[in-house]
Amino acid sequence: MRIGFQLNGSPVSVEAPDDLSLLHLLRDRLGFTGAKEGCGIGECGACSVLLDGQLVNSCLTLAAQADGREVITIEGVRGPDGGPNDLQRAFIDAGAVQCGYCTPGMVLAGEALLAKNRRPTRAQIREAISGNLCRCTGYQQIVDAIQVTAARREEGKANA
């Protein structure tokens, strides 16, 4: 079937089998390898992408489900200069990136949360990333990075 959607702000139209996962469409057919394949069964969040702004496990999402919709992968998250955005920089500064396997999904989970809750509590941040497993950081630094970004974005708005 032919699938058409917006990928990181650009239109994509691709022929794909009905049973192809969105993860494999992105990685293997379109070359967007930021979403990682960890478990492949919806348990680790390494494959997270945003589908119409909602965090989804792309390993459990059919490519066909993206038809007519908007997909954001980690490649679509960047600062105004094309480099890391404020949340990505906060991850780096906080030591929230170690092996980095979970990081694309964690950043997207953070962005999905901050889009709907500008002042999340630490408990709400933990809840928001509860579907994203990290074997390296112990989560503290990841929560720190999301919290500091929330505070800075609020401060930026207050000073704008």
Helix (H, G, I), strand (E, B) or coil at 82: coil
Find, among 78, 135, 82, 80, the residue nearest to 111 by Cα. 78
Which of 37, 67, 70, 86 forms a contact with ligand FES (CB under 6 A)?
A: 37
Restricting to residues 94-123, name those near ligand FES by CB under 6 A.
Answer: 97-103
Helix (H, G, I), strand (E, B) or coil at 10: strand
Minimum distance, C-beta of residue 127 to ligand FES, in the bound complex (Å): 17
C-beta of residue 136 within 8 angstroms of C-beta of residue 98 = yes
Minimum distance, C-beta of residue 29 to ligand FES, in the bound complex (Å): 17
Query: Cβ contacts of residue 6 below 8 Å, gap of 6+?
Result: 12, 69, 70, 71
Q: Pattern 40-79, binding to ligand FES, x per CB under 6 A?
A: x-xxxxxx---------x-x--------------------
- 20 contributes a contact to ligand FES by CB under 6 A: no
Residue whose CB is less far from ligand FES, 40 or 85: 40
DSSP-derived letter for residue 76 is: G
Find, among 53, 102, 98, 104, the residue nearest to 75 by Cα. 104
Which of 67, 136, 148, 153 forms a contact with ligand FES (CB under 6 A)?
A: 136
Residue whose CB is less far from ligand FES, 37 or 70: 37
Binding site for ligand FES (CB under 6 A): 37-40, 42-47, 57, 59, 97-103, 134-137
